Amino acid sequence: MNSLEPQRVQARFKLGYPGFQLDVDLDLAGRGVTALFGPSGSGKTSCLRAIAGLERRAKGYLAVNGEVWQDDDHDLFRPVHRRALGYVFQEADLFGHLNVAQNLAYGLNRVPLAQRRVALEQTVALLGIGHLMQRQPATLSGGERQRVAIARALACSPRILLLDEPLAALDAQRKAEVLPYLEKLQGELDIPVLYVSHALDEVARLAQHMVLLEAGSVSASGRTDALLTRLDLPLAHGDTAGAVLSVTVASHDPDDHLTTARLGDALLSLPMQVANVGQPLRIRVQARDVSLTLQQQSGTSILNILRATVSAIAADSPGQVMVSLDVAGCPLLARITARSARTLGLTPGLALYAQIKGVAILG
Mean pLDDT of all residues in the chain? 92
Q: Each residue of 302-358: pLDDT tens digit? A: 999 999 999 999 999 899 999 999 999 999 999 999 999 999 999 999 999 999 999
State the Cα angle at 194 between 143 and 362, rounded to 5°: 60
Tell me the mean pLDDT in the region 14-18.
Answer: 89
DSSP 130-143: GGGTT--GGGS-HH
Query: 8-228 falls under which CATH superfamily?
Result: P-loop containing nucleotide triphosphate hydrolases (3.40.50.300)
DSSP 183-240: HHHHHH-SSEEEEEES-HHHHHHH-SEEEEEETTEEEEEEEHHHHHT-TTSGGGSSTT
DSSP 363: -
The answer for 62, left when phi > 0, alpha when psi is -120 to 50, beta otherwise, is: beta
pTM score: 0.89
CA dist 189 and 118 (Å) reads 9
Q: Each residue of 236-264: pLDDT tens digit? A: 999 999 999 999 999 999 999 999 999 99
Task: Please classify residue 147 by burial: count the beta carbons closer than 10 Å to its beta carbon, then call 0-12 exposed, 13-18 middle and 19+ buried.
Answer: buried
The answer for 114, left when phi > 0, alpha when psi is -120 to 50, beta otherwise, is: alpha
Same fold, 8-228 and 242-360: no
Determine contact, residues 25/1, Cβ cutoff 8 Å.
Answer: yes
Domain boundaries, the chain: 8-228, 242-360
CATH 1.10.3720.10 fits 242-360, yes or no: no
Tell me the mean pLDDT in the region 51-67.
Answer: 94
Determine contact, residues 327/333, Cβ cutoff 8 Å.
Answer: no
| pLDDT band of 112, cuts 50, 70, 90 | confident
Element containing residue 353 per DSSP (H, E): strand 351-356
